[in-house]
Structure 1
Amino acid sequence: MNGFFGHIDAAPLFYGLLLAIGIFSMLRKLLKFDLGTLAVEVIVFYVVFSMHKGTLTGGMSAAICALIVGLAFKLVVRWSK
């Protein structure tokens, strides 16, 4: 039983969880009409995903990067005023 669990790759599960969080983040921004932050998050995801040529690792890094930028962008804009 222990040998079976040693061969499970958790990356697709983690990737799916990150994408779900990213989709919910984008939906929340769309419903709150926070279109500037939504556009920045989508553009960052697209640029990073296309730089990594659509691989699983590239998608995961794009999702993480877009989530961080989506959170930090609002704080930086609010802080600079």
Structure 2
Amino acid sequence: MGNITVTVLLAFVSVLLTINLYILKGLRDDLKEGIRKLWEKIDTMVEKYDHTLERLIKAEAEIEGCNREWNRRSADGK
């Protein structure tokens, strides 16, 4: 009777471990997918940041050019 109990107990633990492994594999796959999506969002944000930074640099150069022109005209007008 004791051997049967131990065998049934071991079979039950084996089934639980198998279920846990499938659950962990599913969680791992979900985690991988979540990380992939996160990297995609980060890449998109970096691209937007780069584009915005380029526009700001161009705008700054344009403002500096306008300031130089304004200063030149102001100096000529005096």
Range class of TM-score, shorter chain: 0.3 to 0.5
TM-score, length-scaled by structure 1: 0.35
Normalising by structure 2, report the TM-score. Answer: 0.36
Which gives a bigger RCO, structure 1 or 2 (Cα 8 Å, sep 6+)?
1
Q: Larger helix proportion, structure 1 or 2?
A: 2
Structure with greater Cα Rg? 2
